[in-house]
Structure 1
Amino acid sequence: MSKNKHIGSDFDVFLAEQGELEEATAIAVKRVIAWQIEQAMQTTGVNKSALAKRMHTSRTVVDRMLDATDTGLTLETMTRAATALGFRVRVDLVAA
């Protein structure tokens, strides 16, 4: 019998036991959002400066929005970016 209690367990369970599940989830979600915005920018041929202009904001805000580790993105900023790129935001809550 193994002495490691985590062998065979779920990684989410491990993160929860360490008190790091919420932070890890937030970072993972932000990485996906940043990637999706970058993909939309490439698809539409819009660079960071043009996106900032379309959003009526600064390039610094766009840089923070695209920073995969900055989890402080607001729904308002995300929606403004999506609209500026010709997309819309859809948010789903799913059972844990």
Structure 2
Amino acid sequence: MATHKNIGSDFDSFLTEEGILGEVEATAAKRILAYQIHQEMENQRLTKTEMAAKMHTSRAAVNRLLDPQNTAVTLKTLEQATAALGKRLRIIIEDPVKT
């Protein structure tokens, strides 16, 4: 019978062992931010063109911001987007969750 080194471990431990925890968390955070910005745009009935005008940028930049696959979004862009929506961006640094 084969033994499996990851049986019984949690997913974060598995990702840490694979050396990809930070990358996976960053991708997940970007997807969540893109989703939240898109939802707020819908709530406010803002088109991408209108959002771009409020952000003083191009529609292509808004498309990149809303693309969940694009992880190369700057804090400045996120701040511009949240300000355009009448919101504010909060980022925290915290200790990892202990399991």
How many residues align structurally?
96
CA distance in 2, matches of 1:87, 1:39: 13
Question: 1:58: how far off?
Answer: 0.6
**Equivalent residues in 2 for 1:1-96, closer than 5 Å:** 3-96=3-96
Offset at residue 2 of structure 1 (A): 6.4
The answer for unaligned runs of 5 or more in structure 2 is none
Runs of 4+ in 1 over 3 A off after TM superposition: none
Distance 1:27 1:82 in 2: 19
Look up the equivalent residue of 2:21 and give its one-letter code.
L
CA RMSD after TM alignment: 1.3
TM-score after normalising by structure 1: 0.93
Bigger CA drift: 38-47 or 1-10?
Answer: 1-10
Counterpart CA distance in 1 for 2:31 and 2:90 is 16
Q: CA deviation at 1:82?
A: 0.7
| TM-score, with length taken from structure 2 | 0.91
